[in-house]
């Protein structure tokens, strides 16, 4: 199971800082009431298309404005890539435990991408392989994550 945070991982903003109502632009983005353009990081759509062909994908996002997060997933044309979504203002460890219960995957079978160092620490403490995203999701980060994840699975199977 490959899990993604939203804010500063898939897109370069905090959902809770946007000014609703949001309106779709028709080209995979949105505008808020201040006419701020809202788009995914470059390359994210291609990454999600590839990853969804090989892995089950999920969202784990701690936001207050849950409706806006779901709207943006729809407006950015990526909602369908994520059959599992945990979007609510609780801890990432709670999100990941709920995803584990819903998916049937063990924590050690999850790979999690997030920008927040605290979330990386909390998720590794419960046995999830976590990768910090520093400037938006990229192919380099995904490749690093998949390499570390495959290495941890091999290491765990030997012990």
Instruction: Report pLDDT for 35.
Output: 83
Instruction: Report pLDDT for 157.
Output: 55
Instruction: Quote the distance between the C-alpha of residue 64 and its chain's center.
Output: 16
**Orientation angle between helical segments 92-103 and 117-125, nearest 10 degrees:** 50
H/E stretch holding 59 reads strand 57-61
Rama region for 127: left / alpha / beta (φ>0; ψ in -120 to 50; rest): left
* CA gyration radius, the chain: 15
- Active-site annotation holds for 16: no
- Active-site annotation holds for 7: yes
pTM: 0.93
Instruction: Report pLDDT for 4.
Output: 99
- Count other Cβ atoms within 10 Å, centred on residue 133: 21
d(CA 57, CA 1) in angstroms, rounded, equals 6
Beta bridge partners of 114: 132
Instruction: Report pLDDT for 34.
Output: 87
Instruction: Report pLDDT for 159.
Output: 52
Ordered by where they begin, the domains of the chain are 2-12+41-66+84-158 (3.40.50.1000)
Instruction: Report pLDDT for 94.
Output: 96
Q: What averages of pLDDT result for each successive group of 10 residues across the chain (159 residues)?
A: 98 94 94 91 98 98 97 97 97 97 96 97 96 97 94 61
Q: Which of 7, 65, 114, 122 is catalytic?
A: 7
């Amino acid at each position: 199971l490959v899990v993604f945070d939203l804010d500063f991982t898939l897109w370069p903003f905090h959902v809770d800082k946007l000014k609703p109502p949001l309106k779709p632009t028709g080209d995979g983005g949105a505008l808020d009431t201040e006419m701020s353009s809202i788009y995914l990081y470059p390359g994210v759509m291609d990454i999600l298309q590839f990853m969804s062909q090989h892995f089950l994908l999920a969202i784990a996002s701690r936001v207050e404005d849950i409706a806006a997060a779901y709207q943006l997933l729809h407006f950015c044309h990526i909602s369908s890539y994520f059959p599992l979504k945990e979007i609510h203002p609780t801890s990432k460890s709670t999100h990941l435990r709920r995803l584990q219960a819903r998916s049937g995957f063990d924590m050690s079978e999850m790979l999690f991408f997030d920008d927040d160092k605290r979330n990386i620490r909390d998720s590794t403490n419960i046995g999830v392989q976590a990768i910090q995203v520093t400037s938006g999701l990229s192919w380099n980060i995904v490749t690093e994550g998949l390499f570390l994840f495959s290495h941890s699975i091999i290491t765990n199977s030997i012990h």
